[in-house]
Structures are given as structure tokens and as C-alpha cells.
Amino acid sequence: MITLNMPKMGYSVKSGDSVCVEKRTPGRPRSEQARVSILRSTLKFLEKRGFSELTIESIAASANVGKATVYRWWPNKAALVADAFAHSAVDKLHFPDTGSLITDMSQQMRQLIQIFKSRRGRIVLAMLGAGQSDPSLLLAFRERFLKPRRAEAYATLQRAIDRGELPPDQDLNLLLDSLYGPIYMRFLLRHDALTDEFVNSLCRQVLGCIAATVKQPE
């Protein structure tokens, strides 16, 4: 008896009068493993060779998957790169809940500058630089990295409002821009150092001034 295996189609065919069909179900664990492998391969490629040389074909080959597998999750290179960076940083960028707004924000912001100062910071620089001529890059960075972090920051600020640390009518977008804008300015222009002391002073100055305007109960 001769057995012909056809893995691409997911069939096993035996000689004779009968044909056995064995459907292969990819399953979530294998699918997730492939996704993580693609993200890791993308991050390694970016750290070694940079954004300009990255292609979907090169990442598919590095992750040992087909191009169709990559496109199953990401519509283009911009989305893949943004997700690869976000996936590598997300665990370190959660906001704590210590009961103090200044402590919560400063801890998260210090983690952010450590990432910006690492090799992964070069990926962000490349994305923001290339994004000036390719809007899809900036869109992917905003949607896949900034937006989830900002949503978590909103929750942190709302807890501070509930505790009475911030006024209830506080403009949360303006506040976040006031806190993170100086970080991105130093990161991009490099006119001064990104240090823990800088973050601590920034939080005290911005949040401390706002906290002073909160009316205390009589």
C-alpha cells in the first residue's frame, strides 16, 4: 500500500478504491505562534537592518511562513512595524495604580524613556521620520501604539479625578500632550537628555500646578 501525503492541501490519499480526507484545522495555538514569530522576526530585522530594507517577503521568510499568513493580520508594512514595536513594549508600559497620580504617571513615563533610549527607540525614530512622507506610517503608529496607551492613561487620569487630585472638568487630551510632548521633543530633537529626573520634574510641574487648582472640601 502506498500513501501519498499532501500537506498543503491537508489530505492523505491511499491507493485503492477508497480516498480518506483528513481536514487540517490550524487551531488557535498554532496561529498565535505564527503571529508572535512574525512580530519577533520583524523586530529583529528592524534592529539589525532598519525600516527601509524591510519587506513582507523578507519577514515571511524569516518567520518561516507564507506571505498570505502575514497579510492575514496586517494589511501593509506600516501596520506590521507598528504592531511589532507595540508588542515588544506593551508589558513595560502599563500604568500602575498606586493611589497617587504623580507616582502613576512618572513610573510609566520613566519606562517609556527607557524604551526610547534602547535599540527599539531607533525603530520609533525611523517610523516617525518616514511617516513625514508616508502618512500610513503615522496612522499605524497612532492607532496601534499611541491609542491603546492613551486609553489606559485616560483611565489613570479618571481615577485621579475620582480621588479629587484633578478637577472634574480637566481637559485630559491637553494634559496628556503637556506631559508627553516634552518627552517626544527631547527624543526627536535631542537638545537635552531624557532622564528620570527630567520626568519627575515634569510631572511635579504639570500635575502639581493642576492639583493646586482643585478646590478642597470645606
Residues of the chain with pLDDT under 70: 1-30, 215-218
The pLDDT value given to residue 213: 85
- Shortest CA distance to 77 belongs to which of 51, 114, 98? 51
The pLDDT value given to residue 13: 37
Taking each helix axis from N to C end, the angle separating 56-63 and 28-49, rounded to the nearest 10 degrees, works out to 120
The pLDDT value given to residue 30: 60
> From 3.40.50.300, 1.10.357.10, 3.40.50.620, 3.40.140.10, which CATH number describes the 88-211 domain?
1.10.357.10
What residue spans define the domains of the chain?
88-211
The pLDDT value given to residue 9: 39
- Shortest CA distance to 84 belongs to which of 59, 106, 113, 110? 59
Angle in degrees, CA 23, 24, 29, rounded to 5 = 150
The pLDDT value given to residue 4: 37
The pLDDT value given to residue 31: 87
End-to-end CA, the chain: 92
Are the CB atoms for 81 and 123 separated by under 8 Å? Answer: yes
CB burial of 120-158 (b: ≥16 within 10 Å; e: otherwise) equals bbebbebbeebbeeeeebbebbeebbbeebeeebeebbe
Cell 533610549 sits at which residue? 117
Q: In this predicted model, what pLDDT tens digit does every residue of 107-121 receive, in sequence order?
A: 999 999 999 999 999
Residue 39 CA to residue 163 CA, distance in Å, equals 39
